Chains A and B, each alone.
Chain A
Amino acid sequence: MAEPAGQSGVSDPFTGVLVGFARELRAAGLTVGTGDVLTYFAAMTPLDPTDLVDLYWAGRAALVTRHEDQAVYDQVFRAYFLGADAPAQSRLPLTPWSVAEAEAALVMPGTEPGPEQDAERPVLGWMASGTDALKHRSFAACTPDELAALRRIMTRMRLTPPRRRTRRTRAASAARGTEPDLRATIRASMRMHGEPPGRLYFRERKTRLRPLILILDVSGSMADYSRHLLQFAHSARHAAVHVTTRGPAPRGSRSSVEVFCFGTRLTRITRELAHQRVDAALEEAARTVVDWDGGTRIGQSLDTFVRKWARGGLCRGGVVVICSDGLDRGDPEVLAQAMERLGRLCHRIVWLNPHKGDNRDFRPSTLGMMVAAPHIDLLLSGHDLASLEELAATLPTLN
């Protein structure tokens, strides 16, 4: 067991126990660096290291960096410090508390668990719910040749959302500039000992790509398409990043891309898709999406999206692309309301319905589509590569 030397105020058994605790947290999937453990030690110095409540809160402040991880932290803490055969108990002279007392104290603190904490548990792999079709679906069903070909073409695609003006400005010619550039003008003037410069300098507002949000239906009825869509999402995400990492990117060319999946419930897979390698990223995403090939609750999923993400400003001024066939098993009222709210929160909504196919006069036939239709700005098909290319081509013009 590695023992960080010279941690004042923390005697040896603690070192072992705290390092062990950090290791347990890591095993449970939290990213806990050595630096964080050192912070934890340092944090215990002004506190009482035999007080469980202090141990708990200091650890939570030092080792947990996001709200979603708190449930895991709580669980590991309970198991490690309070469990029946807790490793900490045998080695630590903890303040003589009964386990029940400590449990009560740990539940007591004013940080009541938010409603979303429960919703996120399954995603973290802590709880298996029997109600949804919790299946890990492999992408292997697609023939390797097909996949490879698709991937090659998709990685060449660039999704460029439309631009919007930002608050920031840049120097511009007098013809294009909208506001006088005091700074540059004075500078020029100073060069001439304070005489007014011959011309005024101007600035113009910069533009920036709007955020792009992909919401993909991975339910059973979309099974034939969702694989492609996910791959498409991956390349879309990386295309946006590539522009900035490789070569001289024009300024403001970076766009944030968020990806969500839904069947019976909504899962955010942006982070999973961050992996550079397509296979690894898709595998990761498939592991996270628990309701693969299950039923569909579009209304509920979009409602969750609106409540949890959109209202927070995730898609403000952005373009939301929803890929679904609109076969909703939920209440159409919920879907209508979610779409209406979403429409007010984002810039444009694009709906990809594979059933539209190449049919130009496609009329939505499913109830879900009919309910959602009034709020959709653009309806495309997305059933094959050509249609995805069409999406890529139309996207920049959505201003």
Chain B
Amino acid sequence: MVDETVPDQPVVEYPETVAELTIRLRDGGYLADRGLATSLLVSLSLRRPLLLEGEVGVGKTEVAKVLAAVFGRRLIRLQCYEGITASQALYEWDYARQMLQIRALSQAEATDEGSVDKLFGPKFLLERPLLEAVRQGDRAVLLIDEVDRADDEFEAFLLEVLSDFQISIPELGTVKADTSPVVILTSNRTRELHDALRRRCLYHWIGYPAEAREAEIVAVREPGAAEQLTRKVVRAVQRLRELDMAKPPGVAETIDWVRTLGVLGETELTEEAADDTLGAVVKDRDDLDLVRENLAEIVSGG
């Protein structure tokens, strides 16, 4: 729920063309296709939140991370979960510190108006992701991850914040972003999002990449992997997706598999090696049985 990266490079202006954005993202290790790059560019230039949906493990969260890293923004991540409340997303007073402060005050100071006001000053305010993002404005990329996991009341609240990037703290006043931050929302479609939230956002669906692109992605993410091995693994994963699996492997799984094989020093995707490392790609028992039955066919060829 807290920011993850501290920018190690200066803030860079967002690019103005799709081609430039694609190149910058590629430098950051993310291969965006034309559709995603266009959506991102529009989102950046209109400052509309971008809602990303797609299968599990196709790099929805990664988009925000790379965007922040490449353009020197601070990534502020709000991980949604069932029962998340406004105070967990906005701000909270640091009660323990306030308590200590009160104990430290002398009798005379305690009755003084000013010292009470200080108790509700910025010093005692714990910033949570949304407030932090509003304060940071354009210096931040706000990632609202797995918004479908939050309850719909929270969604309504989110809508309010996303529409004018303004947060009122009764004790302190209103905090408003001078320029709104870039906002990326991701959803795994475990729950239908409200139309109002969808309307507020631009929308993009990320599907599984085609074989050639997936091989490219793996090559970018795992530069050490042998090309031959990568190609075979990608082909095998593409075949796995054609199987009637309960949880088809995502791109993240492909990368994991290549990495696992690399760690084991395999240079070839043999049936044996695949069988040993299947746990990296197939994560359901029923699926394992299904895949083991067809393993020879999946691994062969290519």
Contacts and interface: CB of A to CB of B under 8 A. Distances in A.
Nearest to A184: B95
Given A57-B38, A113-B207, A194-B110, A314 B191 contact: yes
Given A109-B33, A190-B98, A307-B246, A337 B198 contact: no
Interface stretch (A18-26, A41-49, A229-237, A322-330): A41-49
Given A112-B208, A183-B95, A311 B42 contact: no
Tier of interface size on chain A: 35 or more
Contacts of B35: 57, 60, 109-111
A117 B206 CA distance: 13
Contacts of B91: none
A314 B103 CA distance: 50
B102 A190 contact: yes
B122 interface: no
Contacts of B264: none
Contacts of B81: 167
Nearest to A194: B102
A109 B102 CA distance: 61
A65 interface: yes
Interface in A176-216: 182-183, 186, 189-190, 193-194
A312 B189 contact: yes
Contacts of A306: 246
B202 A39 contact: yes
Contacts of B191: 313-314
Contacts of B36: 110-111
Contact of B55 (A47, A61, A114): A114
B286 interface: yes
A360 interface: no
Given A43-B42, A61-B204, A194 B213 contact: no
Interface of A: 31, 33, 35-36, 39, 42-43, 45-47, 53-54, 57-58, 60-62, 64-67, 70, 108-114, 166-168, 182-183, 186, 189-190, 193-194, 306-307, 311-314, 337, 341
Interface of B: 16-18, 33-36, 38-39, 41-43, 45-46, 48, 50, 53, 55, 81-83, 85, 95-96, 98-99, 102-103, 105, 107, 110, 119, 188-191, 195, 198-199, 201-210, 213, 246-247, 286
| List of 9 A-B pairs having minimum Cβ-Cβ separation, nearest first | A110-B33, A167-B83, A313-B190, A194-B102, A57-B38, A65-B198, A61-B39, A43-B42, A61-B202
